[in-house]
Structure 1
Amino acid sequence: MPVLPPSSPSSASPPAGSPRAGVVAALRAAGCVFAEEEAELILTGARTPRELAALVERRVAGFPLEQVLGWAGFHGLRIALEPGVFVPRRRTEFLVDQALARSPEASVVVDLCCGSGAVGVALAVALGPVELHASDIDPAAVRCARRNVVPRGGTVHEGDLFDALPGSLRGRVDILAANVPYVPTGEVGLLPSEARDHEPLVALDGGADGLDVLRRVTAEAPDWLAPGGCLLVETSEHQAPQALATFTRADLSAHLAVSEDLSANVVTGTKS
């Protein structure tokens, strides 16, 4: 649901009339394309008129709707979300589906670069009882992920990629989901303001060609995967050939899956 900058600070104050009409008008004036749908969600989430005004003000200021509401819908679940934390995208549900198709009997799952922990939680819910670990380098993401992962019996670790994980996981991971940042540094400034201004740069910037973090993950992944275990990453269409070659160089059997509906590209690498 894209948002344009507000035309003026005063647009944050709903005009006179019914609460719904006022909220819709304020959101529409701010450029919210789905003003009616967003208004319903904000009205449902607000417990008092003062809270309603605050939520509308934050949305009009350009904060992602999910951060305003405090949750994001993902793979049929409601994922708790906090300000400054990467918002899980609907296209990433395709990564979850690919993981489930590749390893339906997985018992050890790792969500690397986890953000809110949405991917790991979705996998754990679909698979049933699993050993779930999630990690992120961003302290805000780790705090948020613990709200989602711990109630599912999982553990969240803070640190840089595999450095954050306990050594006992080496050679045991059935599904290693790594939703790494893959926006080239030079293109970060072209992202919508919601992402550019309100999501952490570390969750977006993938280096000069967007594949720096992917290469680091792929290089170490075979040491952590169980035999038959799989690594899954999301990438762009034009990056996919390079990503596949990177997986192959790491002795992983590589496969590209594409969802035209979700504009999603997922590379899977399986350990022999």
Structure 2
Amino acid sequence: MSDPQVVARLRAAGCVWAEDEAALLEEAAASPDELEGLVVRRAAGEPLETVLGWVAFLDRRLVVAAGVFVPRRRTELLARTALERTRAVPVGRGRPVVVEMCCGVAPVAASLEGTHAEVHASDISAAALACARSNAPSAALHLGDLYGALPTGLVGRVDVLAANAPYVPTDRVAAMPPEARDHEPLVALDGGVDGVDLHRRLAADAARWLAHGGVLLIETSPGQAGLTIGAMQAAGLATRVETDDEVGGCVAVGVRPDVVSR
């Protein structure tokens, strides 16, 4: 049973699930002094996940750290869809090539550990990539902005390109929960005026990097899915939207035609 004083302190700080959080913090602490430090950080408003150093994601514990974007459960749909599309690549095409763009701590790449895919993950945050190295040790990691981070040898070879690029409209960032707004990088949250600036950039160059029949997967919101899909269609991709109400996930899917236009 958790220490009642710890529970009371967390509850007073506004933690809705104070009992559960106290149990996790007590499990993580190696000593009373360490527990005190963790409780102080959590009571001050730091996200539970970065206090613990991990977040639960598809039956895994992904390493996270202060100052990085923490994967949400909704992104499990993106990861599951990427895994399904990877497994669907015809054997005759050889080893599937997968890229997780704007990877953060690499939840999608982590879900592909143990497959035979050639996995790449990229982000502009060195701190996020340090976590990604632990979560997806088999993936090749690249630091840089979108396609500029990728080796040119991937041009025309990518079977699955998945991205959880920021999609919160600029004027809505201030209304986000303080755990995200005050503790996660703005660049990982702000998606521009309508939230899909990066989606347009991803879609515009996707066909150059995708193999014939390759797929672009972008996490979006139901309200912005039409804009994300429109960007994919403008780039010549065949589109549809996948949703999962249980986790609140929404993924725009764009497929490069499997034949070369004449």
TM-score normalised over the length of structure 2: 0.92
Cα distance in 1, alignment partners of residues 59 and 210 from structure 2: 28
Residue of structure 1 in register with 2:64 after alignment: 81
In structure 1, the residue corresponding to 2:112 is in which secondary structure? helix
Residue of structure 1 aligned with 2:135, choices 138, 148, 168: 148
1:134 aligns with 2:121: yes
Aligned 1:95-134 pairs, distance under 5 A: 95-106=78-89, 107-125=96-114, 128-134=115-121
Residue of structure 1 aligned with 2:20, choices 33, 37, 41: 37
Following TM superposition, the consecutive aligned residue runs of length 4 or more in structure 1 with deviations greater than 3 angstroms are: none
Structure 1 segments unaligned to the other structure (5+ residues): 1-17
- C-alpha contact (below 8 Å) 1:175/1:229 kept by paired residues: yes
TM-score normalised over the length of structure 1: 0.89
Cα distance in 2, alignment partners of residues 89 and 216 from structure 1: 23
Residue of structure 2 in register with 1:51 after alignment: 34
- C-alpha contact (below 8 Å) 1:258/1:265 kept by paired residues: yes
Residue of structure 2 in register with 1:249 after alignment: 234
- C-alpha contact (below 8 Å) 2:86/2:98 kept by paired residues: no
Residue of structure 2 in register with 1:12 after alignment: none
1:26-54 CA deviation, whole Å, 9 max, x = no partner?
11111101111111111100001111001
Cα distance in 2, alignment partners of residues 235 and 114 from structure 1: 15
Residue of structure 1 in register with 2:253 after alignment: 268
Aligned 1:191-230 pairs, distance under 5 A: 191-230=176-215
1:175-230 CA deviation, whole Å, 9 max, x = no partner?
11110000001100000000000001111000011000010011111111111111
Structure 1 position 100, deviation (Å) = 2.8
Output the aligned Cα RMSD. 1.3
- C-alpha contact (below 8 Å) 1:149/1:156 kept by paired residues: no
Cα distance in 1, alignment partners of residues 83 and 256 from structure 2: 16
In structure 1, the residue corresponding to 2:68 is in which secondary structure? coil
Cα distance in 2, alignment partners of residues 132 and 93 from structure 1: 17
In structure 2, the residue corresponding to 1:251 is in which secondary structure? coil
Report which stretch shifted further, 54-63 or 140-149: 140-149
Structure 2 segments unaligned to the other structure (5+ residues): 90-95, 258-262
Q: Give the paired residue count.
A: 251
Residue of structure 2 in register with 1:3 after alignment: none
Structure 1 position 154, deviation (Å) = 1.2
Residue of structure 2 in register with 1:24 after alignment: 7
1:117-174 CA deviation, whole Å, 9 max, x = no partner?
111111334xx12211111011211222122222xx2111110011011111111111
1:205-259 CA deviation, whole Å, 9 max, x = no partner?
0001100001001111111111111111111111111111111111111110111
Cα distance in 2, alignment partners of residues 245 and 111 from structure 1: 21
In structure 2, the residue corresponding to 1:124 is in which secondary structure? coil
Residue of structure 2 in register with 1:6 after alignment: none
In structure 1, the residue corresponding to 2:172 is in which secondary structure? helix
Structure 1 position 19, deviation (Å) = 5.9
Cα distance in 1, alignment partners of residues 107 and 21 from structure 2: 21
Identity across matched positions, percent: 51
